[in-house]
Amino acid sequence: MYMKSWLAMGCVVLGLTAGVAAAQTNDGPPIPHPHTKIQSIKQAPSKAKREPIATQPETEEADSLYARGLALDEKKEFSQAAALYQRACNVGSADACNNLGYLYGNSEGVQRDDFRATSLYKKACDGGNANGCFNLGVAYDYGKGVKRNEAQAASLYKKACNNGNANACYNLGIDYASGTGVGHDDFQAASFYKKACDGGNANSCTNLAVAYDNGKGVPRDESQAATFYKTACDGGDANGCFNLGVDYANGAGVGRDDFHAASLYKKACDEGNADSCTNLAIAYDNGKGVPHDESQAATLYKKACDGGSAKGCFNLAIDYDDGTGVGRDDFQAASLYKKACDGGNAEGCTNLGVDYAKGTGVQRDDFQAASLYKKACDSGELNGCNHLGFVYDSGTGVQRDEFHAASLYKKACDGGNAKGCFNIAVDYDNGTGVQRDESQAASLYKKACDGGNAGGCTNLGVDYANGAGVQRDDFEAASLFQKACDGEDANGCSNLGMRYWQGLGVSQDRDKGRELLQKGCNMGNQWGCDKLKELQ
């Protein structure tokens, strides 16, 4: 008779010896893949910041006053600049009206007055100043000094864009992409991003690249996307550098180049892009494009975490959990998992739940653990669903409910979580929370095994050895036990040892059988230890 593994509850399965205890960690969660690409946000109001243009004689006074005010503005002598802008605005300088509005909107040299600012932006816009139209659009977008009106904002952005304001084209692109103040239209969004990008707005180049990456409003074209990310990066947009780094890391639209990817992540990280700091840390963790350096990785994870990257917090927590690149510190790890979880990283919620379940770095609290697993599961973190299934199976921190446990294991399995497949297979084996079905159990053990769960390989091997739910096949059983043992499953090693001892599905080799039974015993499998004694 052969033993099955049991990862969820450690109970006897099919009359065989109990298996491994519940999984209590996130398998030392792997370093995550690079983040998805980021789009930029709307621009803040801007000043004209241009040289006076040639004018007719009757406007020379306005231009002179504006030029003097601009010179003082650039020296940060805002109060004196405001006085000159006011005089210039009064005699017809639209540029001066816009800049004076900006000073009122930002408390520079004058007391803040959003109503006064918008009034001046309107005067500037009516006088043909594109920046004034843009700034008035921003005021309507956010309800500053006027009642919020997104349709009016979009109308003003269009007017400013048509008059050459690239920031306005960019914001109008975002409005079309999101359907804000205008009908949703990806083609129009891409068109305005292109116009803004051509006008020097680096953020728009990034968003246009994202459009090409996703095929939204333009044909999907990763090579074109990479070209626009480069334009954005060269223009100073850190998101563009980050996304181009992701392209080089994945070989998307450009040849794969880990060194160039790391260089771009560094550039973006230095410019304050927290996600790039995370990806650069991952590069140091894996030695991709940079030397392997766990200490440097931890430093960068901290910088990323401090900058708002939940993934950075999560990975730094793992480092403290394992003592990788930093001294091991369970309390610091738990604190960082909490920060990651609060920041929307569902894996952080799962691992913090594990800490509460074990009392590691925090006071043990089964109710809090269950709550965190639920939060993770509700966010689509499949390991959280598997853990939540376990607590419902055992009634730890929640009322025991085997049916709900089975549904959670299924959810995890359907999403590709091998442990979830293993646990729902065990339920079908035992008829726990579901109707007993050995054929379904075997199918799910296969899915678990194919997904890298060594216990699933062991249990499927037992099914083949016994002809339970599948046709008996000693060769397949031995092959599965070998795969399980290679995956460090103690039951698999012990079962393979008995196969060699008996010559079932393999050439009989009793020395190898003893060796494998000893390996299973050393790994903590009591059944292997007992069999060794019987065979002495």
pLDDT at 2: 57
**What is the rounded end-to-end Cα distance, in angstroms, of the chain?**
18
Burial 314-351 (b: 16+ CB within 10 A, else e): bbbbbbbbeebbbeebeebbbbbbbbbbebebbbbbbb
Of residues 2, 1, 6, the one with CA closest to residue 454: 6
Contact 235, 245 (CB under 8 A): no
Supply the DSSP symbol for 432. Answer: S
pLDDT at 14: 23
CATH topology of domain 455-536: 1.25.40
Mapping DSSP onto H, E and C, the string for 212-237 reads: HHHCCCCCCCHHHHHHHHHHHHHCCC
22 band by pLDDT with thresholds 50, 70 and 90:
very low
Instruction: Write out the CATH class of domain 41-142.
Output: mainly alpha
Specify the residue for token string 């621009």: 43
DSSP structure string for 391-411: HHHHTSSS---HHHHHHHHHH
How many Cα atoms are found within 13 Å in the side-chain-facing hemisphere of 481? Answer: 32
Homologous superfamily (CATH) of 345-452 is Tetratricopeptide repeat domain (1.25.40.10)
pLDDT at 535: 86
Distances in Å between the alpha carbon of 377 and those of 81, 382, 412?
57, 6, 9
pLDDT at 59: 64
54 band by pLDDT with thresholds 50, 70 and 90:
very low
Which amino acid belongs to residue 238? A
Angle between helices 526-534 and 490-502 (to 10 degrees): 20
| Distance (Å, whole) CA 397 – CA 432 | 20
Residue 487: Cβ-neighbour burial (10 angstroms; 0-12, 13-18, 19+): middle
Question: How large is the average pLDDT for residues 275-285?
Answer: 96
Of residues 126, 130, 105, 115, the one with CA closest to residue 49: 130
For residue 379, pLDDT over 80 is answered with: yes
Same fold, 41-142 and 345-452: yes
pLDDT at 115: 97
pLDDT per position as a tens digit, 74-119: 999 999 999 999 999 999 999 999 999 999 999 999 999 999 999 9
Where do runs of H (alpha helix) occur along 287-325? 294-306, 310-322
H-helix or E-strand spanning residue 51: none
Distances in Å between the alpha carbon of 55 and those of 93, 230, 413?
11, 39, 73
* Domain layout of the chain by residue ranges: 41-142, 345-452, 455-536
Contacts of 93 (CB under 8 A, 6+ apart): 59, 62, 63, 65, 66, 85
pLDDT at 61: 87
pLDDT per position as a tens digit, 130-156: 999 999 999 999 999 999 999 999 999
Cα angle vertex 136, ends 135, 139, to 5°?
A: 90
* Tokens encoding 92: 């017809």
% of residues, the chain, pLDDT over 70? 89
* Tokens encoding 358: 């074990």
- Assign residue 51 a region (left: φ > 0; alpha: ψ between -120 and 50; beta: otherwise): beta
Question: How large is the average pLDDT for residues 122-134?
Answer: 95
40 CA to centre of own chain: 16
